[in-house]
Structure 1
Amino acid sequence: MTTPLLSLTWTDHVTGRRGYLVVDRLVRGVCSGGLRMRAGCSLEEVTGLARGMTMKEALHYDPHSRYVPLGGAKGGIDCDPRDPEAYGVLVRYLRAMRPYIEQCWTTGEDLGVTQDLVDRAAAEAGLVSTVQAVYPLLDDAAAARARLAAAFAIEVDGIGLDELVGGCGVAEAALAALDRDGVPYAGARVAVQGLGTMGGATARFLARAGLTVVAVADARGTIANPDGLDVEALLAARDAHGVVDRAALRADDRRLPVDACLSADADILVPAAVSYAVDAGNQHRVRARLIVEAANMPVVPEAETLLAARGVTVLPDVVVNSGTNAWWWWTLFGDVGADADEAFAYVRRSMRALVDRMLTRARADGTTPRAAAHALAEERLPVIAERFGRFR
């Protein structure tokens, strides 16, 4: 891994909790990457995520698009988002990071924080917006901001468009892989670990495509049903942290331990919660033949090697969950309007093309999909640097 451009550690003077910012690369002086909050978040974790953002940006580079990929970055706070002190920590972190957010780092929701929460804390910290650093790169910043605000105001069947686009991309990545292997959707079984923004939307899109969601996990445990869960009912019964009210379960829905989701009898496993969920010690429990990484870094490298030896394919996070970040910029730069159908169509088309390139490259090189995705990104980074300059 290359050395990041900037790496810093912040200590909250009130609680002593720590936060981190890592800027892996700048393009035109700007970088992009969300802000996560979880107990145990570390500088090493944030550094890996920042590098992943650099690759996600590069993988979506299209010289014919208005959207110009940015550099990669990431923020992280070591605090449980359910802690009563969490919001104050978030505000103070953003206040401390204000110079970076104003000048170079565009950020938004990630694990543990919603966009609404980030926006509220950012306003309290004195920020105009968490993406204001990109405004100078826009042809018409006022029109772009209005377009993005209009897109964020759209709801589809009770869920915000901004919460759905990422899951749409994850689902499309899974469907593209099934199509390449000639696997019919009907009868394909799915387990989703995490029912927050990304996991919930992924479950919805896969269920609506005709797949059977047989297990979902939240912080309280796994909910399973071999005949298929009522995904819409579970989504409607979630709280702000993606935890399902068990009163919404049907009589034949089973309640199992949290980690039971990993060993569910499913064809596809979608880890959509924390990083490092599948490691060398538990990978043998995975029964699915396809793992689709909706979360960032959920499968550790040692586990991926062991899984590959068992014939399990892992579609990597840098491709699978890149749709949310790309949609923000497609909308802001004007490649996509404030319209749900247009957004979903653009995400689906882009993700299918990217997954196809990755899997074709993996087959040609005799490597894993992750190695192929990294190779594609590494080939594009010099092209971007040549066109827009390098800040390292």
Structure 2
Amino acid sequence: MHNPYKDAVTQLELVAKRLEFEYTDKKRFHKAVELLKQPEQFHEGSLEITLDSGKKQSFKAFRSQHNSARGPYKGGIRFHPGVTKEEVQALSLWMSWKTAAVNIPYGGAKGGIIVDPKKLSLAELEKLSRAYVRFLGTTVGPWIDVPAPDVNTTPQIMAWMVDEYELMMRESNTAQLQNPLASFTGKPLELGGSQGREEATGLGGVYVLEELAKKLGWKRKQDITIAIQGFGNVGYWFAYHAKAAGYKVVAVSDSKSGVFVPNGLDPEQTHANKQQTGKLASSASEQISNEALLELDVDVLVPAALENVITVETAPKIKAKTIIEMANGPTTPEADEILAVRGIRVIPDILANAGGVSTSYFEWVQNLAGYYWSKEEVLAKLQPLMIAAFEDIWSVYEQEKTTVRLAAYQVAVKRVIDALYLRGRV
């Protein structure tokens, strides 16, 4: 069985070899790397709730708090039947690198419950969400660990969790010491959520695309073709903003269907088709499968849905010269090597899709200040943050003659190690 945690550790070891020469005290450096292979804290437990039928049922729950050297732990909570301890641990490592890559003052965390939320009623889902907060207790909070939505979790679930957290604070007479709204991000606007959050991940990816176009000297954007696998929130907003910036989006797909329009499609109309008919394509001639989309002869391929879609089987068939990873972990380590050998440039997820966690950071800041920004203000703050992250990583990429992924990891891991040094933790 695939172990993502082993992948995460292998990646860290690979980056450590490249960073080692920058540190004179090798013993101290190796101690720091060993420290980063494990989460600082790992919480595992069983949540029991009473179902609508009156029966009691237990659900396995996890929270991995990887590193806090750069600030509070930060990372989503996923509700999925396939959640594993190893997956949660791996994702918490990657969150530490993601927050460091875009230089926001957080560490990394991830949480999950082994559950199929589709099989629960709304009342049962609320009970489970509140039970998870009770399980975490005082290990979360605005200055400790700030969870957010992830797979199958929503702003409504965050609202229930914030409310439960506030109830706990009141019970312990510590409510006056905390800002409950700042304890979770990805909340509804009515409860301290941030403007711009919905489109931030997709738009952040287009900001990265724009900077890449400058570096590669793409003069005529209308000639640059893009195919996007995944047409949920992230895929749609990437398509929308890419077209608005002048690029030609020729194909998009979701889990059920796909559409291919060589002359360029309209993301808004395609989204409307999906809402009205359940299908992306408006005619049979435009239909394309997920697999065929990955193999299209386009300039830019954007995996924006699932993990591990670019594998040793699919990587040799990819014709795109650039891949922008809007999904988390869409490329397996083995496939990454194949892409590198083939000269295909990959803009990694820890940079490409970091617009989401960056706007979560903005939400946290607004909650702490009790002062809220307009959508225009939020997105105006996002652009320079994403550009600065891209420039830092591209500089290492060019200096080291490495891959963009390794350059991003070098920047991120170095920032975390330097924070560990400054704090005297190693």
* Counterparts of 2:294 and 2:223, CA distance in 1: 19
AA of the residue aligned to 1:362: Y
* Counterparts of 2:187 and 2:353, CA distance in 1: 25
Deviation at 1:255, TM superposition (A): 2.5
Deviation at 1:361, TM superposition (A): 0.9
Query: What is aligned with 1:219?
Result: 255
AA of the residue aligned to 1:26: S
Query: What is aligned with 2:5?
Result: none
- CA spacing shift, 1:199–1:6, aligned 2, 3 Å: same
TM-score (ref. length: structure 1): 0.82
AA of the residue aligned to 1:254: E
Q: Does the aligned pair in 2 maintain the 1:34–1:107 contact within 8 Å?
A: yes
Query: What is aligned with 1:259?
Result: 291
* Counterparts of 1:311 and 1:264, CA distance in 2: 17
AA of the residue aligned to 1:54: S
Local SS of the residue matching 1:7: strand
AA of the residue aligned to 1:293: E
- Determine if the alignment matches structure 1 residue 206 to structure 2 residue 242: yes
Q: Which runs of 4+ in 1 moved over 6 A?
A: 135-138, 144-148
* Counterparts of 2:87 and 2:351, CA distance in 1: 18
- Determine if the alignment matches structure 1 residue 119 to structure 2 residue 169: no
Q: Deviation per CA, 1:159-212, whole angstroms, max 9, x where unpaired?
A: xx2111111111111221122101131111111111222222111111111112
* Counterparts of 1:71 and 1:137, CA distance in 2: 19
Local SS of the residue matching 2:157: helix
Q: Deviation per CA, 1:133-177, whole angstroms, max 9, x where unpaired?
A: 9x9798x979x99998688464xxxxxx21111111111112211
Q: Does the aligned pair in 2 maintain the 1:25–1:391 contact within 8 Å?
A: no
- Determine if the alignment matches structure 1 residue 163 to structure 2 residue 205: no
Q: Does the aligned pair in 1 maintain the 2:159–2:188 contact within 8 Å?
A: no
- CA spacing shift, 1:29–1:360, aligned 2, 3 Å: closer
* Counterparts of 2:167 and 2:349, CA distance in 1: 27
Query: What is aligned with 1:157?
Result: none
Q: Does the aligned pair in 1 maintain the 2:258–2:290 contact within 8 Å?
A: yes
- CA spacing shift, 1:207–1:99, aligned 2, 3 Å: same
Query: What is aligned with 2:404?
Result: 369
Query: What is aligned with 2:16?
Result: none
Q: Deviation per CA, 1:35-56, whole angstroms, max 9, x where unpaired?
A: 1233423222222211111112
Report matched runs for 1:1-392 at 5 Å: 1=9, 2-13=37-48, 14-15=56-57, 17-27=59-69, 30-61=72-103, 69-84=105-120, 87=125, 89-102=128-141, 104-114=144-154, 116-122=155-161, 126-128=164-166, 152=193, 154=195, 161-183=196-218, 184-236=220-272, 245-246=277-278, 249-251=281-283, 254-333=286-365, 338-385=373-420, 389=423
* Counterparts of 1:214 and 1:365, CA distance in 2: 34
Q: Does the aligned pair in 1 maintain the 2:258–2:281 contact within 8 Å?
A: no
Q: Does the aligned pair in 2 maintain the 1:215–1:222 contact within 8 Å?
A: yes
AA of the residue aligned to 1:193: Q
Query: What is aligned with 2:52?
Result: none
Q: Does the aligned pair in 1 maintain the 2:256–2:279 contact within 8 Å?
A: no
- CA spacing shift, 1:248–1:269, aligned 2, 3 Å: closer
TM-score (ref. length: structure 2): 0.76
Local SS of the residue matching 1:256: coil
* Counterparts of 1:147 and 1:300, CA distance in 2: 34
* Counterparts of 2:339 and 2:217, CA distance in 1: 22
Deviation at 1:95, TM superposition (A): 3.9
* Counterparts of 1:380 and 1:123, CA distance in 2: 31
Deviation at 1:97, TM superposition (A): 2.8
Deviation at 1:291, TM superposition (A): 0.9
* The 10-residue stretch of structure 1 (182-191 or 328-337) with the greater mean CA deviation from structure 2: 328-337
Q: Does the aligned pair in 1 maintain the 2:186–2:360 contact within 8 Å?
A: no
* Counterparts of 1:84 and 1:319, CA distance in 2: 35
Larger radius of gyration between Structure 1 and Structure 2 = 2
Q: Does the aligned pair in 1 maintain the 2:323–2:346 contact within 8 Å?
A: yes
Q: Does the aligned pair in 2 maintain the 1:314–1:370 contact within 8 Å?
A: yes
Local SS of the residue matching 1:24: strand
Deviation at 1:344, TM superposition (A): 1.9
Coordinate RMSD, CA, aligned: 3.6
AA of the residue aligned to 1:110: D
Q: Does the aligned pair in 1 maintain the 2:39–2:67 contact within 8 Å?
A: yes
- CA spacing shift, 1:181–1:59, aligned 2, 3 Å: same
Sequence identity percentage: 25
Q: Does the aligned pair in 2 maintain the 1:148–1:331 contact within 8 Å?
A: no
| Residues matched between the structures, number | 369
Deviation at 1:308, TM superposition (A): 1.0
* Counterparts of 2:410 and 2:178, CA distance in 1: 28
AA of the residue aligned to 2:135: A
* The 10-residue stretch of structure 1 (376-385 or 180-189) with the greater mean CA deviation from structure 2: 376-385
* Counterparts of 2:167 and 2:215, CA distance in 1: 41
Show structure 1 runs of 5+ residues with no match: 62-67, 155-160
- CA spacing shift, 1:338–1:22, aligned 2, 3 Å: same
Deviation at 1:322, TM superposition (A): 1.2
Deviation at 1:118, TM superposition (A): 2.2
